[in-house]
Amino acid sequence: MKKPLRILITLLIFLIACESYAQEFNKVYYGIASDSINRDHYLEFKNDSVVELISIHVHMQPQLRIKLTYSNNEGNILIESDQETKQDANQIKQYGFNPFLNEIHIEKDGKALLNKVDGIVYVIYDDFKNKSYTTYIIDSIKYRQENAIANSYGLLERKPKRNRKLKRKLKKIKSDLYNYQIEVYKGIDAYLKYGYDNVFGVIELKRT
């Protein structure tokens, strides 16, 4: 193999590896919990060693912003807790982000970041700020209901549109719901079963 070609192949392999393992810097990741135990939040990777934990803005409550250190080993991200001050730890408890009192293990999976221990999936906020949906699967037919997602200041930018077909379908089966099995998937559970675009929720209704 000629030397220039070998160099080119090496560079391509390096670029592909970087794309596969690196989270995006200075982009906000939306952390979506699969249950009510953990709270949704944001992560912003400032550089290759600092990540900022950010609370979702709530009216009349200051927004939490705490910088933490992390490392990335081929897509396996470790967010450390040993540099947290006592004040940081108290604020983390106050805002309900208790998993961050200990080490957080996250793995990169495509565009998503997965915290399998705590049941949290992280997606790029910009991918959903204009197009977030809850998916209903009723009798094997999919319906998508637009969600309202607040911006980083906690303000709603627009009111979600109602899916009239979904509304009619739900009205039609309302009196027969006791004959349906209902399953709800959110966060990492929805991601693992239905993919990146459905992390905000999938509701299955199957006639028994």
Bridge partners, residue 156, by sequence: 150
Q: What confidence score (pLDDT) does residue 151 get? A: 63
Alpha helices of the chain — where are they, by DSSP H?
Answer: 3-21, 86-94, 164-173, 188-194
pTM reported for the whole predicted model? 0.82
Which pLDDT does position 27 carry in this prediction?
Answer: 87
Residue ranges and CATH numbers for the domains of the chain are: 13-127 (2.40.128.280), 133-207 (no CATH)
pLDDT of residue 147: 84
Residues of the chain short of pLDDT 70, as ranges, are: 1-25, 149-158
Residue 19: per-residue pLDDT: 44
Q: How far apart are CA 7 and CA 202, in angstroms?
A: 46
pLDDT of residue 162: 87
Which pLDDT belongs to residue 152? 58
